[in-house]
Structure 1
C-alpha cells in the first residue's frame, strides 16, 4: 500500500468524526431544548431579548371604517415584530324581549350596577393565516372563547350602552325621542307613531393574524380592546310606512291578524362612540427550568412574551396576568407544566404586569 493511499484513508476517517454545525433557526427546530439551554447559559434568549423584556407593540386605527357603509364600526391594527393582528368590529341588531314592569323593577332592586348580568361581551372569530383554508384549529377556537370570557368578566361593555334609541321618519325627516325637533313640541308630536319594540346592538369581532411568531392572546386582546375604543354606534330609525298595523284576515272561518314588521334602518350620519369601561393590558409569561453549572438543582427562569419555536415548545408552564391602568389585578391564570413556578417567579410576573398596566 502506497503512502498516498494511507493519507487518503486517514483523511476520510477524520471527516467521518467531524461535528455538524446547524444555523440557529435550524437547531431550534431540530432540538429546541438544546437551543434554548445554550442561550440561557450566556444570559440571552434566542430572540436576543432580556428575560423580562417585551417586544415593542405599535397600535393604530385600522382604517377599515372607510371601506363602505354598514360594513365596519371600528377597527385596529397591532404590530409586534413580524406579527400583524387586524381586528374589525361589525354590528348586528337583535330585538329585545319585553319584560313585565313589575318583574323588571324587582330584578333591578336585586341586582347592582356592577352585576355581571348587566354587562355583555363581543363575539370574536380569530383566524390565523397559514396559507390554507379549512375548519378552525383548536388554537383559534380557544383564543376566541378566551377573548369572549375576558371581555365579559372584566365588565368592559355595559348592556345599556348597546340599546338603540329608535327614531321615526316623518315626511323624509328623522325625529328621535331625545332630539330637539319642533315637531315633538307641537300638537303633531303626539300623533307621531313610536315603535313598541326595543332593539339592541350585538358586537362581532373579526380578528386576522399574519406571521404568527408566538402565543397570540396578548396581541389579539390588545387589538380587540383598541377596536372597541374606536367603535362608533350609528343611530337607527323606522320609516313612517312601517307602523304597527294589524290587518284582519279570514281563513276557513277563523279570524286572525297579520302584524306588519318594522323596517329598521341605520343612520350613518349620526353616531356616538361606544363607552369602554376600563383600560386593561394583558401580559403573558413562560417559565423554563435551567440547570446552572454552580447548582445541582434546576432554576426556574421567567421569560416574558415568548417568541419562536424554542421558547414556545420548552416553556410548558405559563402565566397570564391582566391588570388595569391603576395597577389593579383583574385576572391571573397559572398553568403548571415542566417547570416549577416559585413564589419569586410569580411575584416578578405580577410586578411586571402592574408596571405595564400603569404605562
Structure 2
C-alpha cells in the first residue's frame, strides 16, 4: 500500500511538471518571445548582416555628424554569429520603464562574448536606451586609426590630457589595426565592443593595440632618423632644440680640453650616423642609441679666449633624447624631437678640438 501511494505521488508530480512545460510552450507559441528580445535580436541581426541603415532604423538612432560617424559603415564590422538572446529583467518585473536583455555573440574559434542591453519604454514604444557605443583610440606610434581595414589619420589634440579620439559605432565584434602592416606588427584577434561587457556598462571601449616593430620597421625608423640628422647638419650656427646634436646658445663653446670664444661661421658635417633601435614603450615608439653618431663642427674663434681668431674643428656626438617615431597609414615614418622651441642640447663638451 505504501509503495502504491509513493508511485501515485511520483505520477502526480510528473503530471504537474509536464503540465507546466506544456503551458509554457503553449504560451510562447501563442505570444512568442518578449518584445524586448524581438527588438534586440532584430537589431543585432541587422548588424550581423552589415546592414547599418536597417540597424539604425530599428534602434531609432541618428548617426552623429562628421568624423565621429566614420566607422558606422559595413566595412568596419567583422563577422560573428548570434547566440542566446535572453530577457533578464523585463518591464513587468522591474516595475518601472526599463528592462534588460542579455546578448551572446559567437566569434572566431567559437569564443563567446556577452553583453547587456538596456531598454526603455516611452511614448514611441520600447527602444534601446543606448544603441551606439563609443570607441576611444589612444595615441600610439601609429599615426592613424583603423577598424575593419578602414583607416583615417589620427586627429587627436596633443593639448588634451586624454590623448585620444572618439568614434561612435554599432555594437559587435571588431578587428582593429588588422590591415596590411609592413613596419609594425599588431596582435591579431577580435575585440568585443558590447554594452555591459565584463560586468560593466560604460558605453565605450578603449583601443590600445599591442604591436611590435618589424625588421623593415627598424630600418625605416633608422633611415628617417638619419634624414633628421642630415637636415640638422644643414644648420648654420646653433641647431634647433629637437636636433640630436648641438650647442648651448650662450657662452663659449666647450670641448674636452679647450674652449672657443668670439666664434662665428659655424657649420656642421656628419661623419658617422648613429646606430639606433626603436623600442615600444608606453604605447609609443621611442628611439634609443645603441651607438652614438659623430658630427663635425667647423668655425673660427679665439681658442681659450686669447690670440687672434683661428679656424677650428670640433667633434660632437649625437644623442637620442626623448625622441620618438610615428608611422602614418601609408608607411611614412616621422621623427619627433624632445622639445620644440626649447633649449638645445650641448653634445660637444666631450669632443676633441683642433685649431690651425
With the shorter chain as reference, the TM-score category is: under 0.3
Higher relative CO (Cα under 8 Å, sequence separation at least 6) belongs to 1
TM-score, with structure 2 as normaliser:
0.27
Kindly indicate which of the two structures has a greater share of residues assigned to helix.
1
